[in-house]
Amino acid sequence: MGKEYVIKTCIENLENILNSFPLQVASISKESWNKKESESKWSKKEVLGHLIDSGFNNLQRFIRVQYEETPHIAYNQNEWVKSQNWQALPIENVVQLWKVINQQILHIWKNFPENKVNVKINVSKEKTELYTFAEIMEDYIVHFHHHEKQIVSKMITVIAAIGKNNELGKGNDLIWHLPADLKRFKKVTSGHHIVMGRNTFESIGKPLPNRTTIIITRNKDYSKEGCLTANSIEEALELSKKDTDVFIIGGAQIYKQALESNLVDKLDITLVHENFEADVYFPEINTLVWKEASREDFIADEKNKYDYSFVSYVKK
């Protein structure tokens, strides 16, 4: 696997993390943030603080590689991070501090000078440990996901594109072509389990690359190469239990069952600002249960025919 591919993949992964992680932790209670399962374990807040320290150390690494001829990165427990005193901050501020550091890391990754990509960086002051830029990026993503599991045990997300009146589709097919939504869907779901009904799978026609497809069907003899099958949403979630991010992608009945069964943590909705003729609809979003956590609005362009918004909801 070439370094260009590793760098590109790590950038995409960090973009996804920055989009999803703040929403994942939004529903964690203050009590849960500070609770320790045992004296030997960190609380969720302490794990996040560790990720902040680690993020700032890596930020130092990347900056020094850009501006020093022979960079040696000595860990120094980060005076700047200490000055922020994250232990005493409200959790909302700690999450924001984590976000700011990782936004800076992402900016550096995207603009890293090509002539420095192969520089070997000594990351230890006790012994010689040399790593390239791509290797450190890859290790940073792996390190985050390892500790993410200590903060967020599992996030189940319903992801859907709907019209003004909750329209989903007609004749088991999409009723618009919105490349921006397809691109976002791929970006958000890549590397994770996607759960769908049999009709939705057959309208797609094949397993989607870089994802694990789980098909829900009542037919116990049904099978498709490269896919897992389940007889219920609960069974599908059991099959995906090792994944911290699971996406339910349709169709209408599967959405309805998941929401009514109170199995969903987040709604990731593309709202297409137009009326459409449809024969299947997304369930009404109950505003007593769900609150809007983020929104990005876009106007139509030469590639996307309709105005649209990316809207995420978490539970109140």
* pLDDT value of residue 13: 86
Which token pair is 248? 């339910």
pLDDT (mean) for 284-304: 93
> Is a pLDDT exceeding 90 seen at residue 7?
no
Is residue 126 exposed (0-12), middle (13-18) or buried (19+ Cβ within 10 Å)? exposed
* pLDDT value of residue 73: 42
> Is a pLDDT exceeding 50 seen at residue 77?
no
* pLDDT value of residue 271: 97
Residue matched to tokens 């069974």: 235
> pLDDT confidence of 40, banded at 50, 70, 90?
low
Q: Is the pTM for the entire model greater than 0.75?
A: no
> Is a pLDDT exceeding 90 seen at residue 196?
yes
> Is a pLDDT exceeding 80 seen at residue 293?
yes
* pLDDT value of residue 125: 58
The mean-pLDDT minimum among 40-54, 107-121, 265-279 falls in 107-121
> Is a pLDDT exceeding 60 seen at residue 71?
no
CATH 2.30.110.10 at 155-315, yes or no: no
Proportion of the chain above pLDDT 90, given as a percent: 47
* Mean pLDDT score of the chain: 86
* Better-scored residue on pLDDT, 314 or 73: 314
pLDDT (mean) for 238-266: 92
* pLDDT value of residue 88: 81
* Amino acid, res. 215: I
* Better-scored residue on pLDDT, 217 or 153: 217
> Is a pLDDT exceeding 90 seen at residue 114?
no
Q: Starting from the edge strand earliest in sequence, which strands make up the sheet with 290-298, in order?
A: 227-230, 212-216, 193-197, 245-248, 155-162, 266-272, 308-315, 290-298
Beta strand 266-272 with 155-162: parallel, antiparallel or unpaired?
Answer: parallel
Give CA–CA dist 112/116, Å, rounded. Answer: 7
Q: Establish whether the linkage from the previous residue to 49 is cis, with ω within 30° of 0.
A: no
* pLDDT value of residue 29: 80
> pLDDT confidence of 83, banded at 50, 70, 90?
low
> pLDDT confidence of 116, banded at 50, 70, 90?
confident
Which token pair is 292? 């809007």
How far is the CA of 219 from the CAs of 38, 198, 207, 234, 238, in angstroms?
45, 10, 19, 16, 18
pLDDT (mean) for 79-87: 63
Domain regions of the chain by residue span = 3-151, 155-315
- By C-alpha distance, which of 268, 275, 271, 316 is closest to 294? 268
* pLDDT value of residue 296: 92
* Better-scored residue on pLDDT, 267 or 88: 267
- Region for 45 from its dihedrals, namely left if φ exceeds 0, alpha if ψ lies in -120 to 50, beta otherwise: alpha
Q: For domain 3-151, give the fold.
A: Four Helix Bundle (Hemerythrin (Met), subunit A) (1.20.120)
Give CA–CA dist 264/166, Å, rounded. Answer: 18
Angle at 95 between CA 91 and CA 99, to 5 degrees: 165
Angle at 41 between CA 38 and CA 44, to 5 degrees: 105
Proportion of the chain above pLDDT 70, given as a percent: 88
Residue matched to tokens 């967020």: 152
231-244 confidence digits (pLDDT tens): 999 999 999 988 88
> Is a pLDDT exceeding 50 seen at residue 72?
no
> Is a pLDDT exceeding 90 seen at residue 79?
no
Quickly list H helices, the chain.
3-25, 30-34, 44-67, 79-84, 91-110, 133-151, 179-189, 198-204, 233-239, 252-260
- By C-alpha distance, which of 259, 240, 233, 235 is closest to 193? 240
How far is the CA of 4 from the CAs of 30, 49, 134, in angstroms?
41, 31, 8
How far is the CA of 220 from the CAs of 64, 130, 143, 223, in angstroms?
58, 52, 39, 8
How far is the CA of 263 from the CAs of 234, 255, 266, 287, in angstroms?
9, 10, 10, 17
Instruction: Indicate the DSSP class of residue 35.
Output: -
